[in-house]
Structure formats: structure tokens, C-alpha cells
């Protein structure tokens, strides 16, 4: 109860109730069930489809993996399930024309969403789920004005908005929630990871009064809300979360993430903007990524068989730096602890640059790259 009250107090937009689970995956499954129950209670049983985005990541259970927009989470599992529909990710490098302004790119993305809704029928779509900044799909920051424009479409078609804050929540973007950093207005919010700093498994579904009240009223038709897990609202996890949130607030870690995040992005630009293999440097707050390409103009991917991203990760590890290759591109990501210092950030970025240089040398030596930003 104390943790639910704390989360409602902290919420970036008005929320009413919190349902607790164990992981981001089960929380997003719960969100889908909430959307379905909500629309059944309203007498709109056809509004069951969920829109997600290509490159999005929402977990690995059957429903959450369907919401995820990464082929590696679908292949071999007969996923995605047919009620999940994917729309274009706001990835400027691969989805925008080089001359597009933010307004032009946003208009294209909104048009893609409108086309999908028209094709499926707005009366069949219950919700759209989005990460404020897309993590595993490439650390994708949308163009200015994107979320208000998307929200206007959802409002017009009576489609709920789910913000998946599993990565972005609790300081990662330099704000307590990514929702507030990027001007989202969700009806439902998914939290996990940062709520306990991953010391104890815990997730939560934050539910707006509009959705909650409709679900309560639906109980007259369906009886009790038949959903819950063995470890739902586990007191150990709740105690860990309360302690963690207190430390985040007392030590000003959100403000620290904003300040150190600015320094990290300055360092990434300084060390990678002129690198011949780099096509994009992205991020927000204390999350960032560098994407390697065979050619910048036009943007051209490396042959996947070269495994450029994983090779940079391996070279970085040999230099004492742990980073991650992202699944859909030759990108490496940075997501350091909120307590990181500027000296540590500088070392992290320097070692990443050294690793990228080492892989560049390998590609030149074996003839995979000829030094003019185009594959041989």
C-alpha cells in the first residue's frame, strides 16, 4: 500500500491504482488484459488489437514478445500473435529522408499510424504501447513533437496509450519518468527494473482513474477481476522498492543523471562524430548508442555476417569495458549507473572509441571496408 501510494504521488500524469508483478514482461501482459477488460466493460468487445512499433522491446512472454518489434524474439515462436500490429519506429537514420525536418518526419510517422488504423479499423484497436525512448531497438529518440501528434491520433480514435517505462523510468533520462521528458500522456504506465534498481524482482502497472473506474464497474458483469500472480505485491520487493526510491530522491540521482547524461553525450559526440564507421549517435539522459554503418550517405548497413557491432563489443571487453551490441543494427549501447562520475564516463567513451578503431583496422586489413565509407 505504501509503495502504491508513493508511485501514485510520483506519477508524471494522474494515476489511480497500481497492480504489482515481477517483471516488465508480465506487467505488459497485464496491461493487455486491463485493456481488454476495460473495453469489454464498455461494451466494445471488438477493441482488442494492440499497436506497437517495429524495433520496440516489451518483454519475452508470448504476449510481450508479440508486442516486441524485434524479429529475433518472434522467429521460431510463431509470433507475433495476430492481434498485435506494428507501425514505423521513429528512427531517423533508417526511416527519414535526410532533408526531413522534425515536423516532416513526425508527419510521416503519424501518416503511417493513421494508415494502419484505417486498414485495421479503429473500432478493433484497444491501445498503443510505446517506450518513451526505445532501448533495445537502437536507443531511438523520436523527433520533437512526435508524442503529442501520436496522442492526438489515439484520442481521436478512442485508443488507450500505454507507456512502457521499464527502461526509462526512475531517472534514466534525467527525469523521474521518461513520460515527462518526452511529453507523453499515457492512460497506463508499465514500470520495472529501476523501481528496485534490479536488486529484487518487481514490476508495476500504473492505471489511470478512467481505466480503473471502468474496470470496477465491469465487475458487475464479470465478477471479480480474475488476475494475479503468486508473488504479486510481495512485501520484500515492496520494501526494497521503497528503500530504493528513497535513495534516488535523497541522493538527487535524477538530477545527477541529467547532468552526467549531458556530459556523456558531449563525450560521445567528441569521440565518435568524426569516426568513419559511425552513422548515428543517439540517446537521452544516461542512455546512449553509437551505430556503425558501411556508408553514411546514403546510409548503408554492413553485411550482417561481418558482425561489426559484436566485434566492437568484444574489443571493448578486451579493454575492460562492458557494453552491449543491439540486435537490429551494428550499434553499441551505453547505460551506466546513475552514480557514475565524469571521469568514469570519459574512460568509458575513450575505451569504446579505441575498440571501434581496432575493428576499423581489422575491416581495412581484411578488405571488408575500403576507407571510403562504402562496402567493397
Q: What is the pLDDT of residues 231-265, one digit of tens each?
A: 999 999 999 999 999 999 999 999 999 999 999 99
Q: Which residues are paired to 129 by β-bridges?
A: 162
pLDDT bucket at 373, cuts 50 / 70 / 90: very low
Both 263 and 245 in a single domain? no
Both 105 and 229 in a single domain? yes
Both 103 and 234 in a single domain? yes
| pTM (predicted TM-score) | 0.96
Both 270 and 205 in a single domain? no
Does the structure show a pLDDT above 80 at 334? yes
> Could you tell me the sign of the dihedral formed by the alpha carbons of 62, 150, 186, 90, in that order?
positive
166, 198 in Cβ contact below 8 A?
no
Both 239 and 299 in a single domain? no
**Residue 328 lies inside a defined structural domain of this protein:** yes
The C-alpha atoms of residue 373 and residue 376 are separated, in whole angstroms, by 9
Q: What is the pLDDT of residue 225?
A: 86
Both 46 and 133 in a single domain? yes
The CATH number of residue 309's host domain is 3.90.1150.10
- Domain residues for 360? 253-365
**Concatenated DSSP letters for 222-282?**
H-S-----TTTT-HHHHHHHHHHHHHHHHTTHHHHHHHHHHHHHHHHHHHHTT-TTEEEEE
292: which 3 cell numbers?
Answer: 556503425
The CATH number of residue 137's host domain is 3.40.640.10
Both 233 and 346 in a single domain? no
**Residue 219 lies inside a defined structural domain of this protein:** yes
Pick from 207, 229, 250: which residue ends a domain? 250
Both 159 and 30 in a single domain? yes
Number of domains forming the structure of the chain = 2
Both 316 and 328 in a single domain? yes
Q: What is the pLDDT of residue 55?
A: 98
**Residue 181 lies inside a defined structural domain of this protein:** yes
- Supply φ then ψ for residue 38, to 5 degrees: -55, -50
- Supply φ then ψ for residue 203, to 5 degrees: -140, 170
Collapsing DSSP to helix, strand or coil, 221 comes out as helix
pLDDT in tens, 283-323: 999 999 999 999 988 899 999 999 999 999 999 999 999 99
28: which 3 cell numbers?
Answer: 505488459
What's the average model confidence in pLDDT over 353-367?
96
Bigger pLDDT: 373 or 330? 330
What's the average model confidence in pLDDT over 220-227?
87
119, 49 in Cβ contact below 8 A?
no
Pick from 250, 279, 306: which residue ends a domain? 250
Both 323 and 246 in a single domain? no
Q: What is the pLDDT of residue 232?
A: 94
Q: How far apart are the first and last CA of the chain?
A: 61
Residue keyed to cell 528503500: 243
> Could you tell me the sign of the dihedral formed by the alpha carbons of 191, 55, 199, 336, in that order?
negative
Both 246 and 263 in a single domain? no
Does the structure show a pLDDT above 70 at 203? yes
Q: What is the pLDDT of residue 372?
A: 58
What's the average model confidence in pLDDT over 45-60?
98
What's the average model confidence in pLDDT over 112-136?
99
Q: Where are the beta strands (DSSP E) in 108-255?
A: 125-130, 160-164, 188-191, 203-207
**Residue 48 lies inside a defined structural domain of this protein:** yes
**Residue 168 lies inside a defined structural domain of this protein:** yes
pLDDT in tens, 337-359: 999 999 999 999 999 999 999 99
pLDDT in tens, 171-198: 999 999 999 999 999 999 999 999 999 9
Pick from 227, 250, 273: which residue ends a domain? 250
Both 174 and 189 in a single domain? yes
pLDDT bucket at 371, cuts 50 / 70 / 90: low
**Residue 172 lies inside a defined structural domain of this protein:** yes
**Residue 21 lies inside a defined structural domain of this protein:** yes
143, 106 in Cβ contact below 8 A?
yes
**Residue 126 lies inside a defined structural domain of this protein:** yes
Amino acid at each position: 500500500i505504501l509503495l502504491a501510494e508513493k508511485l501514485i504521488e510520483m506519477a508524471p500524469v494522474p494515476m489511480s491504482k497500481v497492480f504489482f508483478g515481477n517483471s516488465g514482461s508480465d506487467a505488459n501482459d497485464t496491461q493487455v488484459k486491463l485493456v481488454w477488460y476495460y473495453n469489454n466493460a464498455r461494451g466494445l468487445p471488438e477493441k482488442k488489437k494492440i499497436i506497437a512499433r517495429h524495433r520496440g522491446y516489451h518483454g519475452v512472454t508470448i504476449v510481450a514478445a508479440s508486442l516486441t518489434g524485434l524479429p529475433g524474439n518472434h522467429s521460431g515462436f510463431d509470433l507475433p500473435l495476430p492481434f498485435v500490429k506494428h507501425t514505423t519506429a521513429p528512427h531517423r537514420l533508417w526511416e527519414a529522408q535526410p532533408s526531413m525536418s522534425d515536423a516532416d518526419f513526425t508527419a510521416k510517422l503519424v501518416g503511417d499510424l493513421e494508415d494502419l488504423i484505417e486498414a485495421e479499423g479503429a473500432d478493433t484497436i484497444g491501445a498503443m504501447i510505446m517506450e518513451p525512448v526505445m532501448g533495445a531497438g537502437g536507443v531511438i529518440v523520436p523527433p520533437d513533437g512526435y508524442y503529442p501528434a501520436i496522442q492526438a491520433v489515439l484520442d481521436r480514435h478512442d485508443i488507450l496509450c500505454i507507456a512502457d517505462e521499464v527502461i526509462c523510468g526512475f531517472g534514466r533520462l534525467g527525469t523521474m519518468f521518461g513520460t515527462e521528458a518526452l511529453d507523453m500522456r499515457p492512460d497506463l504506465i508499465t514500470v520495472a527494473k529501476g523501481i528496485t534498481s534490479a536488486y529484487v524482482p518487481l514490476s508495476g502497472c500504473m492505471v489511470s482513474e478512467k481505466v480503473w473506474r471502468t474496470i470496477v464497474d465491469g465487475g458487475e458483469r464479470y465478477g471479480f477481476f480474475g488476475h494475479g500472480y503468486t508473488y504479486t505485491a510481495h512485501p520484500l520487493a515492496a520494501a526494497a522498492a521503497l528503500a530504493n526510491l528513497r535513495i534516488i530522491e535523497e541522493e538527487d540521482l535524477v538530477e545527477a543523471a541529467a547532468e552526467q547524461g549531458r556530459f556523456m553525450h558531449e563525450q560521445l559526440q567528441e569521440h565518435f562524430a568524426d569516426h568513419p564507421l559511425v552513422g548515428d549517435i543517439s540517446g537521452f539522459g544516461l542512455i546512449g548508442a553509437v551505430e556503425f554503418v558501411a556508408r553514411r550517405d546514403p546510409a548503408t548497413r554492413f553485411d550482417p555476417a561481418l558482425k561489426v557491432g559484436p566485434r566492437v563489443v568484444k574489443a571493448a571487453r578486451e579493454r575492460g569495458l562492458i557494453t552491449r551490441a543491439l540486435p537490429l543494427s551494428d550499434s553499441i549501447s551505453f547505460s551506466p549507473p546513475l552514480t557514475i562520475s565524469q571521469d568514469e564516463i570519459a574512460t568509458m567513451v575513450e575505451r569504446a572509441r579505441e575498440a571501434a578503431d581496432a575493428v576499423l583496422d581489422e575491416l581495412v586489413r581484411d578488405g571488408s571496408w575500403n576507407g571510403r565509407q562504402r562496402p567493397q
